[in-house]
Chain A
C-alpha cells in the first residue's frame, strides 16, 4: 500500500479556500486516491475519491496531476464547521480485502 505524506496541520479563516496537498510517490497504477474527514470522537466521513485529473462534488474538489504522485484536496469557502482532521489514503479499487491504512492526517483549524 502506497504511503502518504500530508502536512500535520493547517490554519485558515472562514470564507477562504483551503488546499491540502498529499504526497504519494509510490502510488501504483491501480491505486485510487480517497480523502476522509474526521471530527473529534466520530468516525471518518468520505469526502471525495479520484484516479486522475480533477474530480468535483458538492463539498470539495480533488486535483491529481498527470504523474499522480501527489493530490490536492480543495475546500472552497471554509467555515468553522470544517475544522477537522483530513486524511488522504491511497489504495486499489476492488480486491478481496481493500484495507485502508490511515496516515497522520492534516488537522485543519478554521478561525473566524
Chain B
C-alpha cells in the first residue's frame, strides 16, 4: 500500500512550451501533496505544498505563475511548468501525505524534465 505514481517519467520539450506532470496516490487519499525539484548531485528542494481544494503554498523564491499547481481531487495533483526554459530542466518529485496520518510521506518515482 501507499503507492505514489508520477506521469510522465520523463519528458523532453522545446523551450517556451508548457509541460504538465501528474502525481497520483494510487491506494490512499492524500489531502496534502508536495512538489520538489532536484538538480544533479543536489538535495531535494521543496517547491510547494498542494492542498486539495485550495491554493498551493509556494516556498520562497518559487514563481507561482511559472509553476502552476492544481490539486483537484484527493488522489491527484498536477504541476505545470509554463513557458519552460533550459534552466527548468530538472528532476521533479512529488510526495503525498496520507489523510489521517502523521509525518510519513510517500514519494513518487520522479519526472525527468529536459528543456531544449
The interface of chain A, by Cβ under 8 A from chain B, is 32, 34, 36, 38, 41-46, 49, 87, 91-94, 96-105
| Closest chain A residue to B105, Cβ basis | A100
Which residues of B sit under 8 angstroms from A99, Cβ to Cβ? 34, 46, 49
Say which one of B60-68, B76-84, B108-116 lies at the interface with A.
B108-116
- CB pair A46–B43 under 8 Å, yes or no, is no
Give B11-45 interface residues, CB cut-off 8 Å to A. Answer: 32, 34, 36, 43-45
| Closest chain A residue to B110, Cβ basis | A43
User: In the assembly, what is the distance between CA of A101 and CA of B43, in Å?
Assistant: 10
- CB pair B104–A34 under 8 Å, yes or no, is yes
- CB pair A43–B43 under 8 Å, yes or no, is no
> How near does chain A come to B109, taking the closest CB pair, in angstroms?
5
> How near does chain A come to B103, taking the closest CB pair, in angstroms?
5
Main secondary structure of the interface of B (DSSP, over half): strand
The residue that B32 contacts in the complex, of A38, A42, A98, A105, with Cβ under 8 A, is A98
The residue that A94 contacts in the complex, of B36, B49, B103, B110, with Cβ under 8 A, is B103
- CB pair B112–A41 under 8 Å, yes or no, is yes
Q: Mark B91-109, 1 if CB is under 8 A from A, else 0.
A: 1011101000011111111
- CB pair A98–B103 under 8 Å, yes or no, is yes
User: In the assembly, what is the distance between CA of A38 and CA of B109, in Å?
Assistant: 10
Say if the beta carbon of B73 comes within 8 Å of chain A. Answer: no
Question: 20 interchain pairs (CB within 8 A)?
Answer: A34-B103, A43-B6, A43-B93, A43-B94, A43-B109, A43-B110, A44-B44, A44-B107, A45-B107, A46-B104, A46-B106, A49-B104, A91-B103, A93-B102, A97-B32, A98-B103, A98-B105, A99-B49, A101-B46, A102-B36
- CB pair A94–B105 under 8 Å, yes or no, is no
Additional A-B contact list (8), CB under 8 Å, known A41-B91, A43-B107, A49-B103: A36-B107, A43-B95, A49-B104, A97-B49, A97-B51, A98-B97, A102-B36, A104-B43
- CB pair B43–A87 under 8 Å, yes or no, is yes
